[in-house]
Structure 1
């Protein structure tokens, strides 16, 4: 089955930065089919862009997927932004670089800043589809200022019950076809502003961080009823923990619906609403409080 989808736009605090602006576009939509491929970080045959997108620490950042460049493939495109069967998590990584417009992608040190997995019977991809192709996350407020490459990863698990069946979209500026165990990716060029001073205590490499047999990659997500709910079990996305501004984290965060902590009042959409040692409001004024890891829960639509 082939289902093209690509990340074509970035928004910052609601401001759309424009079609393909500040992104490195692959020369074709041919996928990388091996998690150990040397180009897995940002893809190959990339076009250049002189634009670096300014992103304030703490900003609400959006990534837009569409079936083909510019929007749906026709007025009745049932697979826009992606086929609804492609359930799975969406995750976001950063790598600090000296110049986001020119630094190469080989050997970079990556850390994870967001992960939207399975909660309330819905996957991160399901929420993106319901939101007309937009996936939103918060740039952590502690991220140190400077240039970064940002990769937003969509992992489709509908065929992941056998090795090589998971389909990775590291969404890009050109349409990526979903084949067995595909990686279709590129990177956005950003400049984080603010006064943060976060320095990750551990980072990962692409390739290297993923294995074809990782339990979050080699998995059957269908329960006895046939629903793509992982049989009611928790799901741990592959890769490292999502970083936390307090410096904590667990080894593999689970995205579920819930929150911990105390405090009165309500938390705004995309604000923190729970986590270990958190004492602020745990009720969301809008959306649902969803766990990113044991240290951080966030109000999400």
Structure 2
């Protein structure tokens, strides 16, 4: 009864908290700002996994910019609650919005015009339940790092345009069908190099069901494991095992160097960066 009451209170508090969007991008520590993001029309979540909005969010207009990356580059997505915000003084996604972080890519003919719901996606990184003692999710690691989450562009990818999809699935009210909240943005990138691999992919909508074990779940119980939604295969890396000891909460992003302004121009390749998270 006490656990159920706690869950109810937590959900009420969460519902009153601000939502969030992925808004900015970094390439090898260089701030690309909003130059190549398809910014969603609002910071509200998508809740219907069968809707086309599950791919790149609702009413997210294509960007004029396409950011250039190379295989092996360190790419960081950045999330905050309010449009244009870059403050580290508040959580990137607040209100006990605990859940996984998932990064996916899709090769497309033209990143500026591609339709996310028609693309073939493949995972390149994910962080679900990182520790079960105590329970600690990828979204909490994101919050520790001022909304920053970094991955390495996989080697071997065929060059060309891609959509990069960054997603947090908030599970604070996911104990009922359609209770999970999906926060995602798509970034428009061009991958260089001389690779030849185009990984087999999945469709969005299509990859998620509203009754998947990682989507319909009560996280206010003791969890020993957690199944990250979508395919289990991750191109270029493997998922970390769930730790049975406390996950470190120390930030790896240097918050002292966090900018307050948001660049809108695609950065020139080769600029020196400030670091990664």
Query: TM-score, with normalisation over the residues of structure 2?
Result: 0.75
Match of 1:273 in 2: none
Task: Provide the alpha-carbon RMSD of the alignment.
Answer: 2.6
Change beyond 3 A, Cα 1:84–1:142: farther
**Residue number in structure 1 paired with 2:3:** none
Three-state SS of the structure 2 residue aligned to 1:41 is: helix
CA contact (8 A) 1:156 1:166 kept: yes
Higher helix share: 2
Q: Deviations over 1:189-212 (max 9, x none)?
A: 001122322222x31111111010
Name 1:154's counterpart in structure 2: 168
Shift of 1:105: 2.7
1:103 aligns with 2:114: yes
Q: Quick check: 1:236–1:255 contact (8 Å CA) kept in 2?
A: no
Distance in 2 of aligned mates of 1:31 and 1:65: 13
User: 2:262 maps to which residue?
Assistant: none
> Mind listing any 5+ residue stretches in structure 2 that lack a counterpart?
1-14, 245-251, 253-275
Asked if the contact 2:19–2:45 (Cα under 8 Å) also holds between the matched residues in 1, the reply is no
SS of residue matched to 1:32 = coil
When the two structures are aligned, how many residues end up with a matched partner?
Answer: 229
Which residue in 1 is equivalent to 2:8? Answer: none
DSSP-derived class of the 2:141 partner:
helix
Q: Choose the corresponding residue for 1:238, options 213, 229, 246.
A: 229
State the distance in 2 between where 1:72 and 1:99 align.
29
Partner of 1:216: 214
Structure 2 residue matching 1:83: 3-state secondary structure: coil
Question: Is residue 59 of structure 2 the alignment partner of residue 45 of structure 1?
Answer: yes
Secondary structure of 2:62's counterpart equals coil
Q: Deviations over 1:214-247 (max 9, x none)?
A: 0011111223xxxxxxx2411110001233449x
The answer to whether the Cα contact below 8 Å between 1:115 and 1:242 also exists between their aligned partners in 2 is: no
For residue 24 of structure 2, the aligned residue among 3, 9, 18 is 9
